[in-house]
Chain A
Amino acid sequence: MNVELTELTRKFGHTRAVSGVTLEAGPGVFGLLGPNGAGKTSLLRMMATVLPPTSGTLRLLGRDPGGYGPRREIRRRLGYLPQNLGYYPGFTVVDFVEYFALLKDMPPGQVPRAVATAIEQVGLGDKARAKLRTLSGGMLRRAGIAQAIVNQPELLLLDEPTAGLDPEQRVAFRALLREFGQRATVIVSTHLVEDVAAACTEVTLMDSGRIVFHGTPDELIARGQGHGVGDAPLERGYSAVLAAARS
């Protein structure tokens, strides 16, 4: 298992952002769904080793991120796209991806080709030498995805990756997710259920810091039959599970 979470909890003051989450994930694409404030981003940040848990145990890629050596090894094999991608406006797309490739400790000889591959994979080849401050929101998002995948991560964590992408780009991105999911654990936090339906093999639905559903997209759809609100079957499953959890 690439991700093993046991009773993971994160508090901010008296607020429990994540409350006793237990989850295991091997290779595949996992959708993390939930309303705003459900705890998706906090959970993803803990898995990205950016935020330490308050309690519970966390093992990533078979290692405990609490120790310096294992944490460094995890980070070498990790790809992370934060919800709010900060960037250096004066960097070009290549500078940006290359900078983070080097900070991921990639062997310098492999970096140029890996950078070119990642940039082409997100369709930014024609903007490779453009400064980040000149790019649109969708292009910046794709630059962020490029830095996340540049090291061919074994654990890829993406927080709202399709925000700002146009429909054509989203279709291409879902194909990329499926490709990565063949060999890596990809966890995608989103509230766009169509992304989950198209790309994910498993879905986890969070509400108020807890997991209220874990299963396949088909199983979530089944929960919505005859219940729930929404235009698409998955949306009806989503709303039915949330309603049941809150009742």
Chain B
Amino acid sequence: MIGRDDLTSGYHDRGPAPGDVDLDRVWLGVAAQVWCRQPGPAERAAGRLLRSPGLARALVTTPSLLLGWVIATVVILLAGLGFTLSTGTPWVALLAPAVAAAGIAYAYGSGIDPAWELSQSMAVSDRMVLLVRALAVFGLNAALGLAASAASGAAAAVTFGWLVPMTAMCALALAAATVTRSPNVGVAAGSAGWVIAILAGQAAEGRFTAAITDSFFVLPYLAFAACCAAVVLFATRIPRGTS
């Protein structure tokens, strides 16, 4: 790679530099052009949509989340597909909320993000970064679910049947993780919450798929998610005034 020394030595080979040429300044201009990473189409679109290049970069790079997201997606698809084909039970819909809740619990905090403390001192709020990433994942999941529903001829309600409880379980896991500062507690809370929801559906209607198929649960799920979101906001606030 060409460096500052190469630039200056090459220049001196052809004689002394003119007095009005600042080679440091020239090199910085070159380095800025050579080193800088041009944002891809997704980052440019996100930057325009979010009106924040910082948020857009955080969204497309997701340095601490990418691996977890990919693993969760693969687990859900492969395990769910296998069990669904062999048993006829909608295992993807039943597994998705718990796995997503685990992913969200590990998405926020010192447990997973190595640069957590540094991120907390940034002008672009770490909570906003988390929100945008979660929205992107949910939006993509919803789009994939709707596409799959359309392809299989099933009603869109199937997708929303698991997307809504997934929102509630993710909010629960996030609230528990932020309040206790432990992603493991968040995972436990999200998983326990989902097991309780499934068992409640079993007790009420005699089938454990009621938690994802019964429209009666939609409003309670959303209300519960809103309460958990409020807890997250409260737990991550910086108190106004200090005396």
Most chain B Cβ neighbours within 10 Å, of A53, A99, A103: A103
- Distance to closest chain A CB from B45 (angstroms): 14
The A73-91 residues at the B interface (CB cut-off 8 A) are 73, 75-76, 78, 80, 82, 84-88, 90-91
Most chain A Cβ neighbours within 10 Å, of B3, B31, B57, B123: B123
In the complex, A78→B47 CA distance in Å?
A: 23
Number of A interface residues in the complex (CB < 8 A): 54
**Does A227 sit within 8 A of B, measured CB to CB?**
no
**Does A57 sit within 8 A of B, measured CB to CB?**
yes
Q: Contact between A102 and B53 (Cβ–Cβ < 8 Å)?
A: yes
Q: Contact between B123 and A72 (Cβ–Cβ < 8 Å)?
A: yes
- Please judge, given known A-B contacts A103-B58, A112-B32, whether A66 and B124 are in contact too, CB under 8 Å: no
Q: Contact between B36 and A52 (Cβ–Cβ < 8 Å)?
A: no
- Please judge, given known A-B contacts A94-B36, A105-B124, whether A87 and B28 are in contact too, CB under 8 Å: no
**Does A48 sit within 8 A of B, measured CB to CB?**
yes
User: A88 is contacted by which of B24, B64, B239 (Cβ under 8 Å)?
Assistant: B64
Q: Contact between B121 and A64 (Cβ–Cβ < 8 Å)?
A: no
Mask for B88-105, Cβ within 8 A of A = 1, else 0? 000000000000000000
The A92-125 residues at the B interface (CB cut-off 8 A) are 94-95, 98-100, 102-105, 108, 111-113, 115-117, 119-120, 125
Interface on B for A, CB 8 Å cutoff? Answer: 1, 3-4, 24, 27-29, 31-33, 35-37, 47, 52-54, 57-58, 61, 63-64, 113-125, 129, 238-243
**28 pairs from A and B in contact (CB 8 Å cutoff):** A49-B120, A56-B242, A66-B240, A66-B242, A72-B125, A80-B118, A82-B117, A85-B115, A85-B118, A86-B113, A86-B118, A88-B63, A88-B64, A88-B115, A94-B35, A94-B36, A95-B37, A99-B63, A103-B54, A103-B124, A113-B29, A113-B32, A116-B32, A116-B36, A119-B31, A120-B28, A120-B31, A128-B1
